[in-house]
Amino acid sequence: GESVGLHLPTLSVQEGDNSIINCAYSNSASDYFIWYKQESGKGPQFIIDIRSNMDKRQGQRVTVLLNKTVKHLSLQIAATQPGDSAVYFCAENLHSGGGADGLTFGKGTHLIIQP
Amino acid sequence: GAGVSQSPSNKVTEKGKDVELRCDPISGHTALYWYRQSLGQGLEFLIYFQGNSAPDKSGLPSDRFSAERTGGSVSTLTIQRTQQEDSAVYLCASSPGLGPITQYFGPGTRLTVL
C-alpha cells in the first residue's frame, strides 16, 4: 500500500483566507518531501520541498512544515487566491541507491477557493 | 526554457492494440521517470532511467509494459495489447540527477482504451 496519504480529499476556503493541507507518511527513512500542485489537464507543478533535516521551509505565500516525530507534513498557503484552486499532492522520496528512485505520492487534496 | 514535453497529448486506442508514448526531458537532465495517474487518483511510479539504464523495472504493472531511453534523452513507454484498465494519464518527469532532487513533470499523455 501507499506510504503517503492525506487526511482530507477536499478543502474549501474563502478567498483571502489561509489554508492548511495535511499529509501523513509512514516511511520514517524518507529523506525528501515535495508538495506539488496539479491543475486540471496539466502535469504536477513543483511548489516547495523540504529535506528531512529541516522542520520548516518558507516560500512565496507557502510554508511547509515537517514533523518527523509523528511523520506529518503540511502545506500552508497564505492569503489564498482563485489561482490556488487545484489538487495538491505531497510526495516523498527515499533514495535507496540500488532500487526504485521515484517519488511516492498521496492521493491528493482538492483545494477549492470560494470567491 | 523548455520544460518536459510529451506526445501525443491524447491517445485513443482499441483494446488489444499497441501504443507508444514519448517523453522529451529537460535538456541536460540525466534522470527520467514515468508515472501513471488514474482518474481521481494519485501518481503511481512505474520506472526510472539514469542515463539510458533502468535499474529497477519492478514498478511496471505487467510484462505488457516496457520502456526505453536512447541517447540519454528521449524515452518511450510502450504498452502492448492494451487493456481497458490501462486507461490513465501517463506522466513523465525529469531531474538533473537521482535522489532528493526535484522532479519536473510534463503535461502527460491521456490514454483511453476502448
Shortest CA gap B111–chain A (Å): 13
| Average pLDDT, integer, range B1-5 | 84
Residue of B nearest to A52 (CA): B100
Does residue B114 lie in a domain region? no
Domain contains B62 = yes
Instruction: With respect to residue B12, please indicate whether it lies within any of the assigned structural domains.
Output: yes
Question: pLDDT for A67-99, tens place per residue?
Answer: 999 999 999 999 999 999 999 999 888 655 444
CB contacts, 8 Å: A23 with chain B: none
CATH number for the domain spanning B90: value is 2.60.40.10
Which tens digit of pLDDT belongs to each residue from A16-37? 999 999 999 878 888 889 999 9
Domains annotated on chain A, with CATH: 4-93 (2.60.40.10)
Compute the CA torsion angle B66, B70, B76, B82 (nearest 10 deg): -30
HSE-CB of A49 using CA atoms within 13 angstroms: 18
Question: What is the arithmetic mean of pLDDT over B80-102?
Answer: 89
Residue B87 resides in a domain: yes
A41-50, A53-62, B6-15: which range is least confident on average?
A41-50
Residue with cell 500542485: A37
Which one is predicted more confidently, B110 or B57?
B110
Distance from CA of B75 to the nearest CA of A (A): 16
Q: Is residue B22 part of a domain?
A: yes
Q: What is the pLDDT of residue A7?
A: 46
Sign of the alpha-carbon torsion through A89, A90, A96, A97: positive
Domain range for B21: 5-108
Query: Would you call B45 and A31 a contact, using CB atoms and an 8 Å cutoff?
Result: no
Residue B62: how many other CB atoms lie within 10 Å: 11
Q: How many domains does chain B have?
A: 1
- pLDDT tier for residue B100 given thresholds of 50, 70 and 90: low
How far B34 CA sits from the closest chain A CA (Å)? Answer: 8
Look over chain A and give the mean of its residue pLDDT values, rounded to a whole number.
86
Q: Which three cell numbers stand for residue B93?
A: 518527469
Position B16 scores a pLDDT of 97
In a domain, B94, yes or no: yes
At B13, which amino acid appears?
A: T
CA distance readout (Å), A66 to A21, A32, A43: 12, 10, 25
Q: Do A102 and B45 touch (CB under 8 A)?
A: yes
